[in-house]
Amino acid sequence: MKTPIFQGSCTAIVTPFTETGIDYERLRKNLEQQYESGTSAIVVNGTTGENPTVTADEFEELIRFAVRNCRNKMKVIVGIGGNNTLHALRKAETAKAIGADGILMVTPYYNKTTQKGLIEHFTYVADRVDIPMILYNVPSRTGIGIHAETYRALSEHPNINGVKEASGNFSLITETMSLCGDNLNVWSGNDDNTVAMMALGAQGVISVASNIVPEVVAKLCTLCMAGDYPAASALFMKYAALFSALFIETNPIPIKAAMKLLGTDSGILRLPLTDIGEEHLQFLRATMRNVGLNV
């Protein structure tokens, strides 16, 4: 049995970019809010953190900052995936050297590979860096998905701790859990799948919504881990529309807009991402008000 890197709520934290870099004071405040709200772990340099636009220097400093500010509070997981295996390895080595608790490695995109290629891609890194790895399956973004038999093969590697499953394919999820058992931890990669996946045995969620409602997502996971699914379902239903609205445009466009509506400076978006459209902004504002958020 593999001990999960974390249980409960993990926030895929936004990166508060400025015109000239990163606002680390704002990031510090955001991390402190996460800790005070019961968040178990954070992902830096993930999709929500706009990792394709983070420079090499910023990547290293982000990890150092997160590790320094989260030590003895929350686990720090670093997004290192990409479509160049050697580049992913170098990022994994950097994360390990600085002191991260784990890495999150997405399937390669654009230069898509076979299932055999996926096994070799992830194994190449896992063989060379002794740090727990979370696989990341999000075929809606990458155009390639991990099959259940591929999960089974990868689960045999001691450094592959689990998977962030964001396919929304419950047939795949249940087959994977059946094949891998305790050898592969599973986390929901979608806020709207959290309760259903935890009912099947997932360890928690890597969440976008917890950037604005961290206490809600943490409580949702706590209720599920306690087996109180009636209460978890009721809480989920209250926020289900918000979880959906946060993906009305490409993540992290809506979550950064939502943070600003709440008075939190989430920083600018880096191109090619642009500010949320006015119609979608009004819809997001109305949805946030409907769940009781003060916007």
Whether the model clears a pTM of 0.75, i.e. scores above it, the answer is yes
Q: For this structure, is 35 an active site residue?
A: no
| Domain 8-226, CATH number (from 3.30.365.10, 3.20.20.70, 3.90.320.10, 2.40.420.20) | 3.20.20.70
Q: Which of 75, 164, 219, 256 is catalytic?
A: 164
Could you tell me which of 51, 74, 63, 56 has the C-alpha nearest to residue 97?
63
As a whole number of angstroms, the distance between CA 109 and CA 51 comes to 14
Q: Tokens at residue 48, please?
A: 């929500």
Please state whether 169 falls in left (phi above 0), alpha (psi between -120 and 50) or beta: beta
pLDDT in tens, 167-203: 999 999 999 999 999 999 999 999 999 999 999 999 9
Active-site residue 164, yes or no?
Answer: yes
- What pLDDT, on a 0 to 100 scale, did the predictor assign at position 212? 98
* pLDDT for 86: 98
Query: Can you give the chain as a three-state secondary structure string?
Result: CCCCCCCEEEEECCCCECCCCECHHHHHHHHHHHHHCCCCEEEECCCCCCHHHCCHHHHHHHHHHHHHHHCCCCEEEEECCCCCHHHHHHHHHHHHHHCCCEEEEECCCCCCCCHHHHHHHHHHHHHHCCCCEEEEECHHHHCCCCCHHHHHHHHCCCCEEEEEECCCCHHHHHHHHHHHHHHCEEEECCHHHHHHHHHHCCCEEEECHHHCCHHHHHHHHHHHHCCCHHHHHHHHHHHHHHHHHCCCCCCCHHHHHHHHHCCCCCCECCCCCCCCCHHHHHHHHHHHHHCCCCC
pLDDT per residue as tens digits for the range 119-170: 999 999 999 999 999 999 999 999 999 999 999 999 999 999 999 999 999 9
Q: Which of 75, 91, 96, 136 is catalytic?
A: 136
Q: Which residues pair with 186 in a beta bridge?
A: 163
- CA distances in angstroms from 161 to 3, 108, 171, 193, 238, listed in the order given: 8, 19, 21, 20, 32
What's residue 134's pLDDT?
98
Q: Which residue ranges in the chain fall short of pLDDT 70?
A: none
Predicted local confidence at residue 1, as pLDDT: 80
